[in-house]
A and B are shown apart, each in its own frame.
Chain A
């Protein structure tokens, strides 16, 4: 199975900051990488699919990049509603696998 490793596991930032979350795959997954945001007690929300495609309705301050084994999610100008946990997911091969999550907290 492909292992997905996110870093950091947690991150403190302030409103207006730019933050980057990294996801590394244990083998090449081409561009089959999605990003999700989850707020406490809620279902996850798809932010980015296929590495860099912004899901409809998601603000443009979210962006994704990468290929192969290394991927990043960048949030420019953090807003109060962005404080949540973020997960990457590979869909290159079955079983699909998620990263362990990155909790973004207010500094």
Chain B
């Protein structure tokens, strides 16, 4: 199971940190991803991190502004978001990667507005 938290309303230019708590599986064995969905739009892959944290990738749209990280001891995934703009308004999902994104959280909503 994956449970996201940390979403909310933030002003343009602000920062937010999302968390994803994992349970029921060996978190440290899986790569993890963040995927977002703007209101009424399709899915957008945001970032991924390997099981050890050694390999990290970002979408061009968030590179330099978002930082993915994980704490395997606490079975947790994070997404630090800064310099937020209206285009970052979305539901953010964390997802486990095992031959595809096979386990998803329920999502946490981020709204960037003044």
Contacts and interface: CB of A to CB of B under 8 A. Distances in A.
Secondary structure dominating the interface of B: strand
A34 B58 contact: no
B104 A96 contact: no
Contact of A101 (B43, B93, B106): B43
Contact of A34 (B48, B100, B107): B100
Interface string B26-48: 00000001010000001111001
- Give the contact-size bracket for chain A: 20 to 34
Contacts of A55: 100, 102
Nearest to B107: A43
Interface residues of B, number: 20
B105 interface: yes
Interface of B: 33, 35, 42-45, 48, 57-60, 93, 99-102, 104-107
Given A94-B57, A96-B57, 8 more contacts: A1-B60, A34-B101, A43-B107, A44-B104, A95-B45, A95-B59, A96-B33, A96-B45
